[in-house]
Each structure stands twice: as structure tokens, then as C-alpha cells.
A and B are shown apart, each in its own frame.
Chain A
Amino acid sequence: MSRRVEQPEVNLEFPPGAADPPEWVSRRDFLTLLGAGAAMAAGACMRRPDKPILPYVEAPADVVPGMPLYYATAMPLDGYATGVLVRSNTGRPTKIEGNPDHPASLGASGALEQASLLELYDPHRAEAMRVGRRRATWDAFAAAFAPAALSRRVGARGAGLRVLMPPTTSPLTASLLGRLGEAYPDARTHFFAPLASSARIAAARTSLGAALVPQYDFRAADVVVALDADILATGPFHLRYAREWADRRRASPSAQLHVAEPTPSPTGTLAARRLGATWSAVAAIATALVDAVHRDARSTGRVSGTTDASGGALTPDARAWVAAVAADLAAHAGHSIVVCGERQPSDVHVLTNALNDALGNVGTTVWYTPPAVLNDGGPDHDLSALATELRTGGVDTLVILDGNPCYGAPSDIELSRVVGAVHNTVYLGAYDDETARVSTWHLPAAHYLESWGDARAYDGTTSVIQPLIAPLHGGRTADEVLAVLAGQPNNSTHDLLRDAWNSARGQGAPTTESDWSEALRRGVVAGSAFARATPAVRGDAVAQARATVAARGVAREQIEIGFVPSHAVHDGRFADNGWLQELPDPVTKLTWDNAALMAPAMASRLGVATNDVVKLQVGDRALDTPVLVVPGHADGAVALAMGYGRQGGEAVARGVGVNANALRTSQAPHVAPSAAVSRTGRSHELALAQTHWAIEGRGSSIVGEDGEAQRSTASSVQPRKRRPLTLYEPKPPSRDGFGADQWAMVIDLDVCTGCSACVVACQAENNIPVVGKDGVMKSREMHWLRIDRYIDGPPDDPRFETQPMLCQHCEKAPCEYVCPVNATVHSEDGLNEMVYNRCVGTRFCSNNCPYKVRRFNWFDYNGEIAETERMAKNPEVTIRARGVMEKCTFCVQRIRDAQMASRLAGDPATGPVVTACQQSCPTQAIVFGSLTDPESEVSRQFGDPRSFSALDELGTVPRVRYLARRREADSSDSSGGRAR
């Protein structure tokens, strides 16, 4: 009934990847499938469908078949490194986890990191080098672009040579660019990424006098104010920030998070005081905060918050919010943080710096370091400059190193057209995407799991990127290409790396073999973080900033459109990743699409509802987009996720959503200040993983709190327990014997951001298939672990509830007694077992599961995937066949392995078991362990006064408990300041 991944044969040949999006299943040829069905039936009883066993010819030293190995490496995203540990089963990377030693990870890993594994095995990756229409070889390329040959085209000083690449933090790349500069003094390198913003650096230049970026320590902050900043779920350091904030919140429940944002973000859902404010309003709010906090500071030198905040531009709600927040900030001067988001213009960052300065946070919770990105904020980060050059046609050869700029560039630059016009263009890219299609040369790019390299984290810490598998499609790295250009074609990246590091002697780079191997083992180079700086803020800069913000004013009539990164596909580089396309947005639960997010009030003014298509207009640019109405969204603001509407050769990505870049201009790449929205009368069905947001007054049963804000003080949240009487008392946990465990899980809703890293982690660990947009619309998604989102209360200022929902492993499981074939039963150690090979698929269990966490294989999802994707499967978990139920098993494969290991070691206690979701969780909201050990964290939290079981009154006695969210007592004021 089920297939398991066989050990891949040595130098396995991959068939041309032709996997299609899963809804293709429904279009499959009738008879063949009939055959398939029959074969599957037969297969279940057949004894000898022998596959030969292939031993090694020469056994590799460290590889033991069936024993996974973990390697440390780092995933660069927008240049910044996030340290990861990668599990490798007999040479196949099968799972990505966080690296505890890496500052950007602290052991956690986000959805993007987790999902990057699937990208490695993506059958749609470019497989061959080509020039024009012809296939090419690396040697041919090396020959054509060796200085000797190339200088003839671009001139001895390389005046006709331009390099375009995404922002990089790699010391190696830096040094190679240096050498390129030596070889071609007149050649220029430009950096571009759709989401990159230089506002922060610019602000630092004006207000601090140097190119610096702020660094935060949320562990020391009692009050955090995020202005249009999704600090807990996006950005290079969000895993670290989330972890630190959660630690602080756990340590002192009074620690507060206040958020003013145009569109609801995971951070916003956790805010004590959340305000929906347009982008321009956020700027005004920053000014108001500066006023409110400053005034006293000037007179008495003591920082305090005044209640009558200035800024007449603000709505009463906003003013109330400012007053409350300012007071809170002042009360915690020196222990607070004000963060400003990337999309805000530089003067708002100036004001933010001023606030932190005034509050005396600089030096305690906030400090500054140089940017890790090479010439961050420098002129060569401006794409339009390059575009002009290309148009004027002084450029003969353009080398584009990844990043697919022709898709991501603002539309006014028309990059595709200008690049197409260049005589000789090289594109190093993983896919045959928009850029590849206009380039002369296309070199398949190596995945980071296939390549050597290095990268810095946001704080400067350097990591070595080491490959886990030889390039599947002969991909190359940017460094290798640069090496060719710089005239060192035949060095492998590994050698280049060693050279570069040796030359960088003295800057903390490891030189000795032992340093090197240590760096590889730990995944970070010790002590390579940048030094802290705590410069003072220039008053004149602040005044200047206040003036500009005031001058700009708050948009009243016209509508602002903000271009936000997609939580799934980021800026589009993950667009071909099925896991991410199907990953529900943390707030809206939208999958397989992007949409114009807007406030209910605004939607009703426009006379549109969710699924209606509207025409967004910015200047003369227009884009038809489906609407998604989101309570809590700022009125007057429209948020549109980037990274969709791809037109490249990627089968999964193509035609999903609309391309936000069509509305972006190089002047306003992040927020279009004055846009128009109009009805089209057409509609487009969005695939929402959750179609019902209201909690229907069931809050106390589901999330442990009643609908209207808990009047109790933060510390004493006590969910009611209403377990009914029962005829059959659940079996008391058996405590006797060798490793007699009773597994259980606790999830702390107080720190769960809903970032959905756990969802992808579960998908990767447990071989969970993708069902496609069609499947999601039919409510057939397969996620064992989902994040429930409830949005309740007044539409302008709702309550957000976040609840990870997975199999509750009920001690009295309703699913078990209705299964006619004993396919789901209870194990000795308290697991609700699901036996796929026994399941006949009556689906009665799902009907009787109050949590609806059981998933059914409606089609043969796993039979549909390409051979390469098969390689991503975890060999320790059965690949489910068509027609069987599946659900969370508490990662039983990890439990059993741990138990067997401890047995063999003769250790009476089972070693620590970490489930995939728990491992990935940035805030460590998930705790897993055995109840038989009274000392275990899970036992402790089971007894926590905040702990409760979802739907307790049903008497299912779940082994998963939640810690109710702490909501602060309602402060007297009515509106925006209301605690939520």
C-alpha cells in the first residue's frame, strides 16, 4: 500500500522533471488510473516485487545506511545568513532544522528555511546550460568570459561590463568583486533585490552620521513598539527577535508589545495594543510619539509620556493609542524598544532612532552596527542608475548573478526590455525564469545545499555554507562565475573560499585547519559579529525629519498601496515551491494567491467583498486584483503581497496570483502614496485554508478565554475546566518499566505568533503532500498541523486568536472507537496511533474528530510526484497511499528511534524527543515530553494555571494542552488604546 524511498543509486540519472501541479490528478487518463488502482490493490498483498539491493562498491567512511547525519550550513536570504542543520539520509538532504549556535536561528528555523529543501529537489529547476537556444558547457562559458576573450568585447578596463546581483554579505563574493575590480577597473557591480530598502541606512547617515543598522535585545525590553514592523515573523533576524521576545514575555508577563501597522501581521496579532494605521499615518504617529515622549525630557530631563499627544492629523483612535503607548514607553524608559519597518521612509527611521535615544534605550536594548550587506545603501544599490546606462547602450556584457531582477524590478524601469536589448547577457539562475528568458547565456545556479560559500548574519556573524549533495543539475555558484570573470576559472568554490579566508587573515576569519573544521562543524565563525556602536542622535536631523513628515501629512482621501513580502514566496524566489504556495498566510489563511487586502469599511465603501476583482491604479499603471477583506486592516490602505504573477518557466509558480511589481515604481517601490481602486464586476475565487473567522462565542471552549476581553489581570488567567463525568475513566498513565513514557505536548498561545514555521517543518518531516489550489478550495489540504486563526469583535479593531491545531492525542479518542478495522488505536505510551496500512478509508474517524485534524488521501497524491521530489521524502515515515487517513503522530518515528537508542544504550529513561514542529518553533511555544517524568517541562506546564484542553467539555482528555493567552485588563479608554 505504501512506497518507501529506496537508497538512491550512485550517480542517479534524473528524468526530465515533469511533475505538474496536483490538481492535474483529476485530469488523469481514466484507464491508466484504473490500472494504478488495481496495481495498488495487488501491491498490498504481493510478496516479492523484488527491487535489487545495491551495496556500496566502496563504503564511504562516515556514511552508515539508515543512520542520518546532520551538517551545519547557512541559508542566505536577501544576503543575510540563517544558520541551519541539515539532516542527510544516505546522501540525501531530507530535513532542515535550526542551528542553535547561529545568532539568526538560535535553534529555530522559519518556513522559508524549512521549505528551501523542496527547492533543491524541484523538478522544474533549470537542468542545462544554454547560450541562445543551444546547449552550452561550462568550459565554453569559461572560455568565452575569460579576461582574454571578454576584454575584447568590454574593453581592457571593462567599461562595457556590468554585473547585477542581489545584495550580498559574503566575504568571498566581496573579495572576488574586488579582484574583478582589479581586472576591469571601469566595470561596475550593481545590487538589487525587490524588497531591499536603503531607508534605514539613509536615516542612520543623517541622524547618526554613519551607515549603521540598529540591533535590538528584546530579552531586556519591557515595552516594544513596532511601527509597521513585523519584527516577529519577517526580516533577517526575526527568528532571534521572536525567541528573545518570547523569553522576555515568559519571564515577565507584564512585558508589552504595541503595534501600529497598516495590515495585520503575526506581530500585530500578539500586540497588547494594536492600531490599524495607514503607512502615512504610521509616520505621523512616530512624530506624535516623539512629541509625547520628548516634551518632558527637555524640561525636566526626565523622560515621561504626556497624554495629550500632538499631531492633529491623527484619528481619535490613533491619538488614544499614542497617548497610552507613550505613557507605557516613558514608564519603561531604558527598557523599551521602538522599531520601524523597512517600508517606512528614512525620516520615520530617524524619528525612531530619536525615540530610542530619548528613552535611553541606546546602549541597553538598542545599539548600532555597520551593515552586513556589501555597500548597503550605497549608490550601486540603485537599479535605475544601471537601467539608464543600459538604455544609453554603453554596456556590452551584463552578468546577472541570480535574483531574477527582470521579474522583481519596478515596472517603470522595464528591465526585461532593456536587458533584452543588451548584446551579451549572462544569467546565473536556478530556473528558466523571466530573466533567463531575456538573457543570452543561462547558467543553472546551484542550490545553497549544493554549494560552497559564506555569508554573514544580520549582526555580522560569518558562516560557512557547505554542500550536502553534489549539484543535481550541474549548477554553479555566483562566486564561480565571478572567478571566471576575474580570471581564475578552474578553482572550485571550496578553494576560492579557502584562499579568500586566508587572505582575510586577522579579521576573525579561520585560517588554521582546526579553525576551519570548527567553523564547518558549528556553522558559525566564533566572534565574527560586528562591534557595537552607540552614537547619539543629531537634533537637527530629527527636526528635519519631523518637518518632512508633517509636510507629507496623512493621506485622507487617496488610497495607499503597500507592497509587502509574501510570508510564503517572499519576493517570488520561492514561487515554484509547492509547500510554500500551499502554506496558509499566517493572518489571512490565503493560499495559492495574493490579493488586495483591505479593511471591511473600505470594502463596503467600494461595494466589493472577498473574491471580487478590483482594478488597482497607480498613476497610469493598473492591475486587476481579487479582494480579500481583513478585519483590523487600516482603512485607506491596501496591502498587496509581492512574488506572485510569475511568468517564468516554473510550472508551479506560473499564473499564481498577480504581479505586484506592475504597480511599483523606482520612486515608490514600497508604498504607492496615492492610488485608486475601482470595481471591475468580475470575481476570482481565492483559496482560503480557513473560510470562517468568527469564533461564534466559543472562545472559552476553544482558546480558553471568553469573547470579551478578560477582565482578570495578566497573571491570573484561569480557563474554566468543564470535563464531564464518564463511565470509563481513562487508563491512568502506566509508569512502570523501561522508558514507560506518556507523551504529551503543551502549546503556549501567549507567545505563538502563527508564523507557520511548524507547519512546513511538519510537512517536511512527515512526507505530507501538496494538493494544489483546487484541493485547498475543496478543503482537502493535508497539513497535519494547521494554525487556526480567529478574528472576532469590532471589524476596525478585532481580537486576533492564534491556535496551532494538531492531533490532540486524546486519551479517550473519539476517532478510535468508530474505526471498524482498528486502524487507529491507542498505544501504551499514550499516542493516538494511525496505521495507514490497515486503514480502509471509511472516514468515520474524521467525522467523529471534534478537532478535524485528520486528513484523507482523496487522490494518489504521492504517486504524482517527480523522482527528484521523491528524494526529499523522509525514509522513516510511510508514504501514504490513496484512500487512507493520516494525521499527526507526535513524530512517532523520532520517539521510537529515541526509545530504541536508549534501550540499546541500557539507559532506563528515553532520551529527549524533539518533534519537528517543536524544533522549528522560533518562540519555543511548543513543549513536548513525557508526563511520567514529573520534572519534565511538559509535566510542569500541564499543571500551569493557564493550561487548558481545547473542547474540554467533550471529555476527550487530550494529551495536547494549551496555555491560554494572557490579555491585559481593559484600560478605561474606549477606542484604539483598547487592549486586545
Chain B
Amino acid sequence: MTTISAPRSDPGSNGSRAHAQLERYPIMRELPDDGTLTTQLLAPLWTSHPAWKWLFMASGALSLWFLFAMGVTFARGIGAWGNNIPVAWAYAITDFVWWIGIGHAGTFISAFLLLLHQRWRASINRLAEAMTLFALVNASLFPILHLGRPWFFYWLVPYPATMGVWPNFKSSLPWDVAAISTYFTVSLLFWYLGLVPDLAAARDRAPGRTRRRVYGVFALGWHGSGTEWRHYRVAYTLLAGLATPLVVSVHSIVSLDFAIAQLPGWHSTIFPPYFVVGAIYSGFAMVLMLVLPVRHVFRLHNVITRRHLDHIALLLLVTGSLLAYSYLCEAFGAWYSGDLFERYTMLTARTRGPYAVFFWIMTAVNVLTPQLFWWTRLRTNVVVLFVVGVMIWIGMWLERFVIIVASLNRDFLPSSWHLYAPTWVDWSLLAGSIGLFSFLFLAFLRWVPFVPVSEVKREQREIAFESAYVDRDGAMPEVTR
């Protein structure tokens, strides 16, 4: 078994008393017995929060607007957007990369942290995984919507056509298809497998036979027998093991959509790591945006403690700093290459070009805001965390916008330079996708156990066990209650 202290890598730990306290701060506190805990964690499934209905309807309406904007695009053609030549990709691809980036935090939390035995993942991993799934739903919509002839999207898939022609696997777009479909499938399986024991709990706790039957079906008849747990354990860990390289590969491949091109601002070898870091960064920002309200509304302070917030903040600080480093590398590489076009795009167009203002906002938000988290108090201040989360969430959208539009609008021949301006359809698609996400997420909060009950119980037992054990030699502080 592992220790429960925060990762030593944490730069804040040196000398900060506040942090020392925090390290002693429990992952779970004042936990009641299993029965009560289960009741508490499953309560949201049986009782609807008054605000929920309105939020759900609002997001539903927004999703319908999303549908309408798609309809317009299908009916009229891509011309309904602001895209042009040279800026043939713009909002839709920005949204695509943004959403899929957000999608990375979920798997990161559940897979990476599981393998690293980061116990604090237990309370929030299901939320994060759900976020991943719903983000991926959006992410997979945009590329199809973006096609000039969407009804032929299946031509990107290798199937035996009577035309006798195939996709071109030298292009990164078929890679995308493979990556996104795989990522979605694996995330779904992983999420569902993790859900099974809790669905069983829900089955056995649900008021009324119908609900019990419904949850019962989805629980697949899980009974938590030793045999079940024995295989389940392995399968779950294997999926985590597979998802971990997957999550890295997916955004690397997405980054290749740009990196394999020779456009200045895209044609860069650091893109894969740079994009992966950015993805996790934006993902954690959104996790904050979701976890904080959920924690507040459902009074989950005992399972989602300041420790969790602190760790997420630390991860933001780390990934944010890595991202800042990538920005520097990009600029330096352009300068060092001595290439006229690279230099112009990265050093002149980005900083002084028509979209410079977005570049500077993006840099300020993505590079500076996470630096707040050198201070432990800010790391646990709910308001600060939420605001920073939102800022980064927007900042990362701007990053993709800058990379895509601000590179395309000024390429090699000045004769073809042209500006891009979004139309109402572009805006509707962006807003609508957020609406769809909220819609799905609210549904999830209402009907699915969003805190992994069984894992929390398990953690609780382990912590109790360890603390009992460490108390004897008094090496470690009391942690459970």
C-alpha cells in the first residue's frame, strides 16, 4: 500500500507551514459508516435539486439551438460559416481541439492516477470520466460537421467500397478517426466498468421496484463476490494501463493534424507533447469548474476535501508551467530556425498581427494565472480556483484559435492573406456544444452515481487500516477522523 501524502514533487511544500498542514489534511473526513455513506452519496439519484430542472431545460434548449445551427450548415454548406481561403479551418476545428483537449483530464485522473496509486482520485474520477465522455461527444461531432460533404464522412473509414478506392493513411485525418473512435470506446468501457459496483449499490438502495430493476439491469447482476472482484480488479487495471498511453497518443495525433502540414505556426516538432500538456491543463481547469459546484451543491466536503482541490491546483501549476515552456520553445524554435516565414508568423504576426490581442490574452491567462498556485492558500480558496478554472478554460480555447486562424490567415504568399470573422452560425455551434455538454452532464448528475461509492468505502477502509497501523509507531498523523 502507498502513502497518502501529497506527491513530494510539489514545489510549494518547501518551508510552507500552511502546506505542511495541508499535507496532514485528510482525503476524507468525518465519514459515517458504509450504510450512511452510501445513502449520502446516492441521495442525489432519488431527490432532484430544485435548480436542476431549470438548468436542465435551459441546456436542453441550447442543445436544440446547436441542432439548428448544424441544420443550417448541412443545408446551406460551409459557406454559412466565416471560413474562407486561406482560413479554411477556423471555429469548428478550434472547438474540436478544445473539446477533445478537455476530454483528456478524465482519463488522466482515472488512469494515470490509478496506476500511480494517487488515492485522492477516488472521489472525483467518475465526474472527470463523465466529463471526458461528453466532451468527446462534442469533439466527434465537429470534424464531421466540418466536412464539405458530411454525408460521405464514412469515406475516411477503410471499408471495401465498390469504388475500389481507400482512405489515404498518409494523412493525419484517418489517424484522427482511429484515435477519436478508440478513445471514445475505451473511455466508455472504462467508465462503465468502474460504474458497475455502484450501479449494484444503487439497485439495492433505489426506492421502488422499477428503479431497482432499471439499475439492476445496468448493474449486470453484480453481487460483489470475491471471484467477481478478483477478475474485475485485473480488468479495471488493464483498462487503466491501456488508457494511459492512449490518452497521450490521442492528443499527439490531434496535434499532427497541424504538425504534418508545412504551414508556419503548425509545422513544429514539439506539437505532440505541447498539445498533450495543453489538453490535460484545459481538462483540469474544467474539472475544477464542475467539481466545485457539485461539491458545494451536494455537500460533498467530506469526500472532496481541500486536499483534492490542492492537488488539482498543483497539477494546473505544473501543466501550466510546462505549457509556458512550450510557448517559449515554439517562439525560440522559429527564431533559431532563421526561416523567414517561420519567424514572421511566430514573432511578427502572432505578436503584432491582426489577432495579436487574442495571442496576448491567451499568453497572459495560460501562463500567468496558474502561477497563483504557488500560494497554498490560493490553492484551496474555492473562489480563486473557480475563477482561474474558467479563465484557463477560455484561455485554452483562444490558444487553439490563435494556432489555427492566426497561422492560416498569413501564410507564404502575402497575396493570399485575408482576415477571418465568425458568423452567427460559428458562434451558435460553439455555444450549442457547451449547451449539449451541460445537458448531458446534468443528466449524468441526476441519474448516475457520480461519486464512486464502493471505491470511497475501499479507500476509507485502507486509510483506517493504515492509520491504525502507523499510529503504533506514531510516524504519521491521524488521518481518518
Residues on A facing B (Cβ under 8 Å): 1, 25-26, 28, 30-31, 33-34, 36-37, 41, 44, 690-698, 701-702, 778-780, 786, 788-790, 803, 805, 814, 817-822, 825, 838-844, 846-848, 850-852, 854-860, 881-885, 950-951, 954
Nearest-CB residue, chain B, relative to A851: B413
**B408, A847: Cβ atoms under 8 Å?**
yes
**B414, A698: Cβ atoms under 8 Å?**
yes
**A859, B77: Cβ atoms under 8 Å?**
yes
**B414, A821: Cβ atoms under 8 Å?**
no
Add 11 more A-B contacts to A820-B155, A882-B77 (CB < 8 A).
A692-B417, A702-B413, A779-B84, A790-B414, A821-B155, A843-B89, A844-B171, A856-B85, A856-B148, A858-B79, A950-B413
Task: Return chain A residues, CB-CB under 8 Å to B71.
Answer: 30, 34
> Max chain A CB contacts within 10 Å: which of B146, B152, B341?
B152
Task: Return chain B residues, CB-CB under 8 Å to A885.
Answer: 148
**A852, B78: Cβ atoms under 8 Å?**
no
Q: Which of A805, A838, A860 contacts B165 (CB 8 A)?
A: A838
The number of chain B residues touching the other chain, given as a range, is 35 or more
20 CB contacts below 8 A, A to B, read: A26-B76, A41-B151, A691-B417, A692-B415, A697-B340, A698-B340, A698-B412, A701-B412, A778-B82, A778-B84, A780-B79, A780-B85, A817-B171, A818-B171, A838-B163, A840-B150, A842-B147, A847-B86, A883-B149, A885-B148
Nearest-CB residue, chain A, relative to B409: A779
**A852, B411: Cβ atoms under 8 Å?**
yes
Interface residues of B in 278-316 (CB under 8 A from A): none
**B76, A28: Cβ atoms under 8 Å?**
yes
> Quick check: is B166 within 8 A (CB to CB) of the other chain?
yes
Task: Return chain A residues, CB-CB under 8 Å to B166.
Answer: 822
A848 to B82, CA, bound (A): 19
Residues on B facing A (Cβ under 8 Å): 71-72, 74-80, 82-86, 88-89, 146-153, 155-156, 163, 165-168, 170-174, 177, 257, 260-263, 266, 340-341, 344, 408, 411-419
A822 to B156, CA, bound (A): 10
**A883, B85: Cβ atoms under 8 Å?**
no
A25 to B72, CA, bound (A): 13
B251 CB to nearest A CB, Å: 18
**B86, A840: Cβ atoms under 8 Å?**
no
Task: Return chain A residues, CB-CB under 8 Å to B80.
Answer: 26
Q: Which of A34, A848, A854, A884 contacts B261 (CB 8 A)?
A: A848
**A819, B84: Cβ atoms under 8 Å?**
no
B305 CB to nearest A CB, Å: 47
**B77, A820: Cβ atoms under 8 Å?**
no
**B152, A840: Cβ atoms under 8 Å?**
yes
**A820, B167: Cβ atoms under 8 Å?**
yes
A923 to B263, CA, bound (A): 35
**A852, B149: Cβ atoms under 8 Å?**
no
Task: Return chain A residues, CB-CB under 8 Å to B168.
Answer: 817, 819-822, 825
Asked if A847 meets B261 with Cβ closer than 8 Å, knowing A840-B152, A860-B77, the reply is yes
Q: Binding site of A, secondary structure by majority: helix, strand, loop or mixed?
A: loop
Task: Return chain B residues, CB-CB under 8 Å to A790.
Answer: 414-415
A24 CB to nearest B CB, Å: 12
**B77, A779: Cβ atoms under 8 Å?**
no
Q: Which of B76, B155, B165, B261 contacts A840 (CB 8 A)?
A: B155
Nearest-CB residue, chain B, relative to A884: B148
**A818, B261: Cβ atoms under 8 Å?**
yes
Task: Return chain B residues, CB-CB under 8 Å to A780.
Answer: 79, 84-85
> Max chain A CB contacts within 10 Å: which of B177, B260, B412?
B412
Nearest-CB residue, chain A, relative to B266: A847
Q: Count A-B contacts at CB 8 Å.
A: 191
A33 to B77, CA, bound (A): 9
Task: Return chain A residues, CB-CB under 8 Å to B177.
Answer: 820
A884 to B147, CA, bound (A): 9
> Max chain A CB contacts within 10 Å: which of B153, B168, B170?
B168
Task: Return chain B residues, CB-CB under 8 Å to A778.
Answer: 82, 84
| Nearest 4 Cβ contacts at the A-B interface | A841-B148, A883-B148, A858-B79, A820-B173
Nearest-CB residue, chain B, relative to A701: B340
A813 to B365, CA, bound (A): 38
A820 to B170, CA, bound (A): 8
A902 CB to nearest B CB, Å: 28
**A848, B262: Cβ atoms under 8 Å?**
yes
Task: Return chain B residues, CB-CB under 8 Å to A702.
Answer: 412-413
A820 to B154, CA, bound (A): 11
Nearest-CB residue, chain B, relative to A42: B151
**B85, A779: Cβ atoms under 8 Å?**
yes
A701 to B83, CA, bound (A): 28
**B156, A852: Cβ atoms under 8 Å?**
no
**B416, A852: Cβ atoms under 8 Å?**
yes
A852 to B260, CA, bound (A): 17
A615 to B462, CA, bound (A): 85
Asked if A841 meets B76 with Cβ closer than 8 Å, knowing A690-B415, A694-B414, the reply is no
A818 to B176, CA, bound (A): 12
Nearest-CB residue, chain A, relative to B68: A30
Task: Return chain B residues, CB-CB under 8 Å to A825.
Answer: 168
Asked if A844 meets B148 with Cβ closer than 8 Å, knowing A34-B74, A850-B262, the reply is no
Nearest-CB residue, chain A, relative to B176: A820
Asked if A883 meets B77 with Cβ closer than 8 Å, knowing A821-B156, A841-B149, the reply is yes
A695 to B341, CA, bound (A): 12
Q: Which of A44, A841, A850, A950 contacts B411 (CB 8 A)?
A: A850
**B414, A847: Cβ atoms under 8 Å?**
no
A882 to B148, CA, bound (A): 7
A883 to B151, CA, bound (A): 11
Nearest-CB residue, chain A, relative to B175: A820
Asked if A852 meets B86 with Cβ closer than 8 Å, knowing A698-B340, A860-B77, the reply is yes
Q: Which of B75, B76, B85, B344 contacts A852 (CB 8 A)?
A: B85
**A857, B77: Cβ atoms under 8 Å?**
yes
A345 CB to nearest B CB, Å: 38
Asked if A789 meets B415 with Cβ closer than 8 Å, knowing A820-B173, A846-B85, A857-B77, the reply is yes
A852 CB to nearest B CB, Å: 4
B31 CB to nearest A CB, Å: 52
Task: Return chain B residues, CB-CB under 8 Å to A789.
Answer: 415
Nearest-CB residue, chain B, relative to A698: B340
B151 CB to nearest A CB, Å: 4
Nearest-CB residue, chain B, relative to A883: B148
Task: Return chain B residues, CB-CB under 8 Å to A817.
Answer: 168, 170-171, 260
A896 to B260, CA, bound (A): 33
**A814, B76: Cβ atoms under 8 Å?**
no
A847 to B404, CA, bound (A): 10
Task: Return chain A residues, CB-CB under 8 Å to B163.
Answer: 838
Q: Which of B148, B263, B419 contacts A843 (CB 8 A)?
A: B148
Task: Return chain B residues, CB-CB under 8 Å to A25.
Answer: 76, 79
Asked if A856 meets B88 with Cβ closer than 8 Å, knowing A817-B171, A840-B147, the reply is yes
Nearest-CB residue, chain A, relative to B341: A698
A427 to B76, CA, bound (A): 42
Nearest-CB residue, chain A, relative to B73: A37
B111 CB to nearest A CB, Å: 29
**A883, B78: Cβ atoms under 8 Å?**
yes
B417 CB to nearest A CB, Å: 4
> Max chain A CB contacts within 10 Å: which of B78, B88, B89, B411?
B88
A411 CB to nearest B CB, Å: 38
**B75, A30: Cβ atoms under 8 Å?**
yes
Task: Return chain B residues, CB-CB under 8 Å to A779.
Answer: 84-86, 418
Task: Return chain B residues, CB-CB under 8 Å to A691.
Answer: 417-419
A696 to B174, CA, bound (A): 36
Q: Which of A821, A841, A881 contacts B78 (CB 8 A)?
A: A841
**B415, A840: Cβ atoms under 8 Å?**
no
A819 to B168, CA, bound (A): 7
Task: Return chain A residues, CB-CB under 8 Å to B415.
Answer: 690, 692, 786, 788-790, 803, 805
**B79, A26: Cβ atoms under 8 Å?**
yes
Nearest-CB residue, chain A, relative to B340: A698
Task: Return chain B residues, CB-CB under 8 Å to A819.
Answer: 168, 171
A587 CB to nearest B CB, Å: 14
Task: Return chain A residues, CB-CB under 8 Å to B418.
Answer: 691, 779
